Chain A
Amino acid sequence: MIGSLLSWLTDPANWSGSDGIPTRLLEHLTYALMTMVIAAAVALPLGLWIGHSGRMRWLVTATNAARAVPTLGLLFAASLLVGPVLKGDAAYLAPSIAVLVLLAVPPLLAGTYAGVEAVDPAARDAARGVGMTGWQVLRQVELPCALPLVMSGLRTAVLQVVATATIAAYIGLGGLGRYLVDGIALGDYPRAAGGALLVALLAIALEGLLALLQRRLVSPGLTGRGRRVGGSRNDDESVAAEANARTAVAPGGRPGTSS
């Protein structure tokens, strides 16, 4: 089994042409990217606004409930509904992306909202108190402080979308799901397993990339990765190291040592 999987993966014939791995990978990524762009355009502003204003919180709960709807059923329903209206590939693409967006919005929205909501009220109060406008409070304080949770919402959403984008193949689209659907239909199990493995690898790679991005974007002041007394950096992200970083500060940090 492993041997045939390996030989499928390493067969040069599978690495070229319109059913080749690079093409399918690119298709898969394109679906995921389109989905995330649309989902982010909806969920980020909405989450920021709900968190900032404290209004319409019920919406977060409501979208979370939408996660319970079976994806595949929704996809078929959507394509039946939209299919006759749209032409060509769009007839398949639009419902697929719509279903994926529906999947991506809840974690993004919840993460963004929770992130803004969790901002220290004293910091928010101070932001208003020093004379920031509502927009400046959001942009300069709430958003940067919310980033860790926004990013974890984003990571969850990306994982789900990349894994679930395989269903697009059920209604005739491309992507890595093709290998799964076709492999199962043809009884070509190495192909199906290869497809599944590729999806998993893609998800892991994207997860790693996003983790790096998060590290770059989120202020060290929020993660405990800031400079320590000695001026060295603690780049270990584990919780234990974080706790250490905090306690290591305390002894040198008595007030008045400098005055």
Chain B
Amino acid sequence: MIRFDGVTKQFPDGTVAVDDLSLTAPTGKITVLVGPSGCGKTTSLRMVNRMIEPTKGSISLDGQDTGRMKQSELRRGIGYVIQHAGLFPHRTVLDNIGTVPRLLGWDRKRTQERSRELLERVGLDPALGDRYPAQLSGGQQQRVGVARALAADPPVMLMDEPFSAVDPIVRDQLQDEFLRLQDELGKTIIFVTHDIDEAIKLGDQVAVLRVGGQLAQVAEPSYLLAHPADDFVADFVGRDRGYRALQFQPTPRLPLRSERTIVLGEQPAAGSGAWLLVVDEQRKPLGWVEPARIGSRGVEDADLHRGGTVARAAGTLRGALDAALSSPSRRGVVVDDSGVLVGTVLAHEVLSAIEDTDRPERDEEDPVHGGAVALAEDGA
């Protein structure tokens, strides 16, 4: 658990970058700091590993005041990922990853093994290990940056806009892998971004800062979307927040209809309706076809409409609604966790399910901290 206690940072030139920040980042969770440019996100983050010293207040790690620890030791115990990866250009990828283990005095062999293991962990080809950073793409460098931060298995990670320098598709991919990795590792993470969508997607808890370095609100993403504390937060969270909040609503039991299906090569039976769902041998959906256009021949790959998204039955209401909205037949395809068809659902059925769900309850007493992640499990 990382705890900010009335932390203020005023730079020598008088700029107040962070103003009386009190915030707790719970153990094993991702806390995202988000806000407009210059609101003090980086400054807040860097005060945790004392790359910047607070002017006032204190920061503690699992109850220990960081101000009393030795800087280099504190930092070796905290993974730190920065925006442009900041890899050491003269070291190979493997040596970059092994930086902290070497500083901690691990022998060469153990460091090498650990570095190789991490290379794979972050989804990189082991053959890249002997390359130099200049020979990697931006996305690959960013992964190496994450691997380097993870190398000595620190319980705490600080990440400053780690995915902002790559294109949107790669970013999405990196985010997904990051979440998968965090599922396995359960680190205590503070993650900085100026992108509210990234914050909502990644955060177990999102802290919104305003310029001047004040905390505007800290809450779980669904709460933030449902109950922004003030106009600034509401504005920052942006439009579509009602729709986006659906991604935090687990799908309740939907009234699924069974769907007539057909396999590639088969000929549609007479009277199959306007749209017919094509599945493979394992009953995994492939796409929709229009029997009227096929006539009396087998269904071919080229006949498939693949525009529709597929929702997981255990997924979110956003996924279910999107499946229905994007389906050419208007029937949203729902699958189980292994991708096998379980049925279809109509948009109005998803909507009535949405109407039946509860919105997170608003904490009237403390609109700023009300929706924060509960700390019971920390014993704090």
A→B interface (CB under 8 Å): 120, 122-123, 125-133, 136, 140-141, 144-145, 218-222, 224, 226-228, 246, 249-250, 253-259
Contacts and interface: CB of A to CB of B under 8 A. Distances in A.
A45 B274 CA distance: 81
Interface stretch (B24-32, B130-138, B237-245, B328-336): B130-138
Given A131-B103, A255-B139, 13 more contacts: A120-B89, A123-B89, A126-B87, A129-B75, A130-B148, A131-B74, A141-B90, A221-B90, A226-B132, A255-B143, A256-B123, A256-B139, A257-B125
Contact of B131 (A120, A227, A255): A227
Given A129-B75, A130-B76, A253 B136 contact: yes
B100 interface: yes
A131 B134 contact: no
Interface stretch (B7-15, B77-85, B187-195, B257-265): B77-85
B173 interface: yes
B22 interface: no
B140 A253 contact: yes
Contacts of A144: 90
Interface of B: 49, 51, 71-77, 80, 82-92, 99-100, 103, 123-125, 128, 130-140, 143, 145, 148-149, 166, 170, 173-174, 177
Given A219-B132, A221-B92, A256-B173, A129 B82 contact: yes
B98 to A, nearest CB: 11
Nearest to B74: A131
Contact of B75 (A131, A140, A253, A256): A131
A254 B136 CA distance: 8
B123 A258 contact: yes
Contacts of B177: 259
B173 A141 contact: no
Contacts of A227: 130-131, 135
Nearest to A249: B135
Contact of B134 (A132, A140, A218, A226): A226
Contacts of B71: 131
Contact of A259 (B51, B80, B166, B173): B173
B72 A133 contact: yes
Given A144-B90, A145-B89, A221 B103 contact: no
Contacts of B99: 130
Contact of A130 (B100, B125, B143, B170): B100
Contacts of B132: 219-221, 226
A250 B131 CA distance: 13
Contacts of B82: 122, 125-126, 129
Contacts of A255: 137-140, 143, 166, 170, 173-174
A141 B88 contact: yes
A255 B83 CA distance: 17
- The residue among A132, A222, A256 with the most chain B CB atoms within 10 A of its own CB is A256
Given A122-B84, A123-B88, A130-B148, A253 B74 contact: no
Nearest to A219: B90
Contacts of B100: 130-131
Nearest to A259: B123
30 contacts: A120-B89, A122-B86, A125-B51, A126-B80, A126-B86, A128-B75, A129-B51, A129-B86, A130-B103, A131-B75, A131-B77, A131-B103, A132-B72, A132-B103, A140-B88, A145-B88, A219-B91, A219-B132, A221-B92, A226-B135, A228-B135, A249-B135, A254-B137, A255-B138, A255-B140, A255-B174, A256-B173, A258-B124, A259-B123, A259-B173
